[in-house]
Amino acid sequence: MPTSLQTKSVSSASSALLIEDYLRVRAESELICQPLEIEDYGMQTFADVSPPKWHLAHVSWFFETFLLKPFKANYRDFNPQFAHLFNSYYETVGTFHPRPERGLLARPTVAEVYQYRAYIDAAMQELLDDDSHAKYQEIINRTILGLHHEQQHQELLYTDIKHIFAYSLLQPVYLTCDYPVTDSIPAIDWLEIEAGVHEAGHKGHGFGYDNEFPRHKNYLADSRVANRLLSNGEYIEFIESGAYQQAQYWLSDGWKTVQQQNWMAPLYWQKQDGAWWHMTLSGYRPVDLNAPVCHVSLYEADAYARWAGKRLPTEQEWEHLAAQTRVHGNLRDSGFLNPVPANGEHTQFYGDVWEWTQSSYSPYPGYHTPAGAIGEYNGKFMSNQFVLRGGSCVTPQEHIRASYRNFFYPGDRWQFSGVRLAEDSK
């Protein structure tokens, strides 16, 4: 039976299923934090990393702000000050604490944050159980949005925990795990795209974020896209060729960033006794030459493609090919929480790493920002960012689809992001 997360809306008869999904997703967030020590919950290692306890509270604030306050009669805030502390960026609902200073919040305590979550969960169950509510369909739709929002923050929890652990000289282990290893991976082959008009965007069946709509037509020229992700071994060739010191491969802003931040390799990589090592959620390990390269920026992905005489795919090319395959791969459900080598059984379109595209994050033709505060979710960020596709090793399988558009700034690389090559057909 499909979960309610896989539908755009459900009938009131499905309220029990929706409550089940709600409790399951909420429990998963707390399960992710189970290996943490109390000292880990408040850490913020740089401005884009949020402390784990902030994530746990913010997703609860989302349900409180967009469901309980407008729809539950006689609802009383757990703590009125949380409206300011755990608002992320919603200008239309009030003020918010500065993002770079989330790690300065010693209070509320972790225990209080968990009490807050329990308080919200009890109120949400009451709200969802009342299928006679005049606005019940809107409650359902917002709840499903809230659960997908929480799953996005679950990804960020893994991403931020990794950065927090990597910052420590003690190199702590989040989860002990053995990854699949192979002696070799398939050579890159090419998936052909024939020139023509193709559709892109959400088809309208099941949940989709507003930035996936409307479905529309695009003209694609003859092109070819790699059938697997770029490996660590292939990326090391780029490093050892001296490409990080050669301006001709880099976008202007990328070259400036490389010099200012002294990039010499992907994030978390260090050379030790002549071999590359990197930090993983399973601790400090040798770089697996056959696993997909991870934690590279758009600048690095683009520079590698230029160095190799290729380019990055557009998001339309990526979606056209990915939509022809089922959603499967090394996603969070596999339990590895790390990219693993291609095995020849699939094209790695889903899982392992979010794949940078050359497409800027902008609205589709005919897109209109939703009214109200919910309209701040995606639309206002359609500037100066690039689209990534496909999900990663920390993305839940039920959360990803061919039309899903993730977006980050071109210099970001603490996300699980990697590279797939493309080229114009000759």
Domain annotation covers residue 174: no
> Is the same domain home to 122 and 268?
no
Domain boundary among 133, 167, 201: 167
Count how many domains the chain has. Answer: 2
Domain annotation covers residue 19: yes
Model-wide pTM > 0.75: yes
286-290 own/partner pairs: CB under 8 Å, 24+ apart: 287/232, 287/236, 288/179, 288/181, 288/232, 288/341, 289/231, 289/232, 289/233, 289/236, 290/181, 290/182, 290/183, 290/184, 290/185, 290/231, 290/232, 290/233, 290/341, 290/342
> What is the CATH classification number for the domain harbouring 335?
3.90.1580.10
> Is the same domain home to 256 and 306?
yes
Closest CA to 23 of 134, 147, 115: 147
Domain boundary among 134, 167, 200: 167
> Is the same domain home to 256 and 203?
yes
CB contact at 8 A, 348 and 322 = no
> What is the CATH classification number for the domain harbouring 41?
1.20.120
**pLDDT digit of tens for each residue in the chain (426 aa)?**
456 676 655 554 478 999 999 999 999 999 999 999 999 999 999 999 999 999 999 999 999 999 999 999 999 999 999 999 999 999 889 999 999 999 999 999 999 999 999 999 999 999 999 999 999 999 999 999 999 999 999 999 999 999 999 999 999 999 998 888 889 999 999 999 999 999 999 999 999 999 999 999 999 999 999 999 999 999 999 999 999 999 999 999 999 999 999 999 999 999 999 999 999 999 999 999 999 999 999 999 999 999 999 999 999 999 999 999 999 999 999 999 999 999 876 689 999 999 999 999 999 999 999 888 888 788 899 999 999 999 999 999 999 999 999 999 999 999 999 999 999 997
Residue range(s) defining the domain that contains residue 62: 4-167
> Is the same domain home to 163 and 194?
no
